[in-house]
């Protein structure tokens, strides 16, 4: 019996230590995806203009009947284009726990998102942002592969972190699929009629014209 009591005490302290480490990792600020400071508004505006110009050239190619024309966008151009839209909101706690509901807690639209960074590495996109949850700033970092299916953008996550703590993709996938399937989000993922496919290649976003 004494042996069992000692083992229980050791197990209890290990659990407390693990919990403390987990909480620390959740609020720990991870390395930023890019060490570069936030670009000046004029630079953002120029990148957004470049994005719009390239997209317009792809549409013109489609109207001329030029099939399979490709245009490439840098992460800076895509980030600038996204910045011109309303900022997204995410609840990390719900994303990490598909079974978690919003009753009694924060709703996604109540969680402000800041300091968003998007980078392309190889054939993957990486995104990182800070979310204020109950007065605490938490960083969410995710990676994945972009594709298309039936005229809509698809996203297959390959990694997900809250703070410095990795979250199993199996816990994220169901919540992400559910969120992306919502009508208002589904519509945002619809590709322009003149775009056949998209992918990340050699650190750039590639759009392919129909």
Tell me if residue 143 falls in helix, strand or coil: strand
Task: Name the residue range of residue 150's domain.
Answer: 41-209
Q: Identify the CA nearest to 54 among candidates 169, 194, 202.
A: 194
CA distance 42 to 39: 8
Is residue 145 in a domain?
A: yes
Asked whether residue 195 is domain-assigned, the answer is yes
- What does the pLDDT profile of the chain (210 residues) look like in tens digits? 544 444 545 545 555 544 554 555 566 777 777 766 778 889 989 999 999 999 999 999 999 988 889 999 999 998 888 776 644 444 444 444 444 444 445 454 445 567 778 889 999 999 888 877 667 778 888 899 999 999 999 989 999 888 888 889 888 888 888 888 888 888 888 999 999 999 999 999 999 998
The domain tally of the chain equals 1
Q: 30 in a domain, yes or no?
A: no
Whether residue 159 is contained in a domain is answered as yes
Query: Which residue, chain included where needed, has tokens 């001329």?
Result: 64
Tell me what pLDDT residue 109 has. Answer: 47
149 domain-assigned = yes
| Integer angstrom CA distances of residue 66 from 57, 59, 70, 148, 198 | 11, 10, 10, 20, 17
Burial class (CB in 10 A: 0-12, 13-18, 19+), 146: middle
What pLDDT was estimated at residue 138?
A: 80
Residues whose CB is less than 8 angstroms from the CB of residue 88 and which lie 6 or more positions away in sequence, other chains included: 113
Is 106 within a domain? yes
Domain contains 81: yes
Classify residue 100 by its DSSP letter: -
What pLDDT score was predicted for residue 92? 42
In 3D, which of 118, 121, 140, 137 has the Cα closest to residue 129?
140
pLDDT (0 to 100) of residue 139: 84
For residue 96, the model assigns a pLDDT of 44
Is 67 among the domain residues? yes
What pLDDT shows up at residue 13?
54
DSSP-assigned letter for residue 190: B
| Angle of the 75-83 helix axis to the 41-64 helix axis, nearest 10 | 100
| pLDDT of amino acid 202 | 92
């Amino acid at each position: 019996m004494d042996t069992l009591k000692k083992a229980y005490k050791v197990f209890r302290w290990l659990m407390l230590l693990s919990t403390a480490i987990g909480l620390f990792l959740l609020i720990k600020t991870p390395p930023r995806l890019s060490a570069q400071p936030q670009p000046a508004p004029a630079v953002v505006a120029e990148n957004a203009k470049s994005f719009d110009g390239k997209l317009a050239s792809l549409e013109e190619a489609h109207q001329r009947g030029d099939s399979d024309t490709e245009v490439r966008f840098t992460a800076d151009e895509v980030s600038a284009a996204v910045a011109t839209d309303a900022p997204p909101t995410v609840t990390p706690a719900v994303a990490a726990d598909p079974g978690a509901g919003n009753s009694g807690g924060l709703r996604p639209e109540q969680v402000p998102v800041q300091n968003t960074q998007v980078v392309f590495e190889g054939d993957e996109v990486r995104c990182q942002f800070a979310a204020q949850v109950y007065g605490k700033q938490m960083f969410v970092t995710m990676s994945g592969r972009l594709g298309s299916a039936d005229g809509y953008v698809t996203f297959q996550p390959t990694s997900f972190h809250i703070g410095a703590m990795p979250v199993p993709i199996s816990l994220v996938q169901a919540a992400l699929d559910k969120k992306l399937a919502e009508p208002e989000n589904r519509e945002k993922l619809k590709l322009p009629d003149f775009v056949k496919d998209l992918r990340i290649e050699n650190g750039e976003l590639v759009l392919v014209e129909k």
